[in-house]
Structure 1
Amino acid sequence: MKPLYAMVFSCVVACAASGTASATVQSVPKESSDTTHSNGQLQPPISYATLWADDKGATHIGHCRLEGLEFKSYAPPAAPQWIGVSPDDIESIAYAVLPPGYVGSWHRAPGPQWVITLQGKWSVETTDGTVLVQGPGEMQFNADTVSRPRPDDQRVGHLSRTVGDVPNVQLIIKLKPGVADQRTGGKCAY
């Protein structure tokens, strides 16, 4: 089986660009009983974390799953695999490397975006005090652009740090403004 980041990258970028897949990916809470069946197969879980802001502007971490992929050949005659298309338009794809010892200041994501950890580890701290640590193959959807200061807490967004003594390499897929606005609310914002 391909590493998770490879599956997501091929799903979000190659499938969307080529129109090869017809299944539209959707998000459900991780604990949801909704599961996808396709061609007699049960879709394996594809978990991710969401960094989101509530209606008061405080940030939190949600745990979700992607559903709705199809089990079929992506490039016939290759064997079937799980494939689906992101419903969003992509503005940019970037690579980021956070050096050992990196500590970012409190900030919002520049827009809704996927962050997929390729190498090393990093952490994200939310204004509610939750710390999420992610390593290779893990991903999150950042949807904290509506975060704002509150009367008792002037912090906004999140605080990022590298974890350990090796660089953290990330693939960042930023969604287009406007298209992604509907995806910025709730624990499974995507």
Structure 2
Amino acid sequence: MRRSRFFFAAVVFPCLFGIARADSTPSHPTMWYWHNWTDHDGVSHMTHCPVQNFDLKTMSKPAGPQWQDRLKAGPSQVIFTVQPAHWDGSWHPDPKVQWIIPLKGSWYVTAMDGKKVIMGPGDVSLGEDQKSRKDARGHIGHFAGNVGDDPVELMVIQTDETPTTDQPCRFR
């Protein structure tokens, strides 16, 4: 019983009433994204990559500070897509270097090396397999499709980035 009272007094009570503890300095966060990249042989891969170079600052005064990591500045296009139930993307490379964020539902990406990643709301993917080359089976880029029986809603942010090879996790 004493332990639970201590926990409440030391941890819960200060949080409820906005009382900061001396050791409550925020630490740098780490976020993650999946990178669909191509190696020098033209084979695509999926790698889980950290985003961790955050600065604590305001985006617009007088709003309070928030952690920010600006990966790249430049022109981009935002596209919302709804993939119908049982959508099948077949084998294809991404049309541009693009960030893909599932908003509703789950979808998967299978790279040419056979790695399959299932993503849902809260996941982020960077599609950069434009330099992939057809393999002996006729596969190029990645195979994508929906998981389950519902449509999948995505937000796609296409960039003006030049596709690279042999650079997994190039945005940190």
TM-score interval, smaller chain: 0.7 to 0.9
Counterpart check, 1:154 vs 2:141: no
The answer on whether the counterparts of 2:37 and 2:168 sit within 8 Å (CA) in structure 1 is yes
Match of 1:165 in 2: 149
Counterpart check, 1:80 vs 2:70: no
Match of 1:106 in 2: 91
> Structure 1: how far apart are the matches of 2:154 and 2:88?
15
1:37-186 mapped onto 2 (5 Å cutoff):
41-150=26-135, 152-176=136-160, 180-181=161-162, 183=164, 185-186=166-167
CA change 1:95–1:185 in 2 (3 A) is farther
Deviation per CA, 1:75-119, whole angstroms, max 9, x where unpaired?
222222112323242331101111110111100000111001111
TM-score by length of 2: 0.78
CA change 1:182–1:145 in 2 (3 A) is closer
CA change 1:71–1:137 in 2 (3 A) is same
The count of corresponding residues between Structure 1 and Structure 2 is 147
Structure number with greater Rg is: 2
Deviation per CA, 1:5-28, whole angstroms, max 9, x where unpaired?
xxxxxxxxxxxxxxxxxxxxxxxx
Deviation per CA, 1:134-166, whole angstroms, max 9, x where unpaired?
00011011110000113x342100011011122
> Structure 1: how far apart are the matches of 2:44 and 2:94?
12
How far does residue 128 in structure 1 lie from its aligned partner after superposition? 1.1
How far does residue 57 in structure 1 lie from its aligned partner after superposition? 0.8
Match of 1:37 in 2: none
Q: Which runs of 4+ in 1 moved over 4 A?
A: none
Note the residue ranges of structure 2 that are not aligned, 5 or more in a row. 1-24
Question: For the aligned residues, what is the CA RMSD?
Answer: 1.7
Note the residue ranges of structure 1 that are not aligned, 5 or more in a row. 1-39
How far does residue 184 in structure 1 lie from its aligned partner after superposition? 5.0
> Structure 1: how far apart are the matches of 2:97 and 2:147?
23
CA change 1:92–1:117 in 2 (3 A) is same
> Structure 2: how far apart are the matches of 1:114 and 1:185?
18
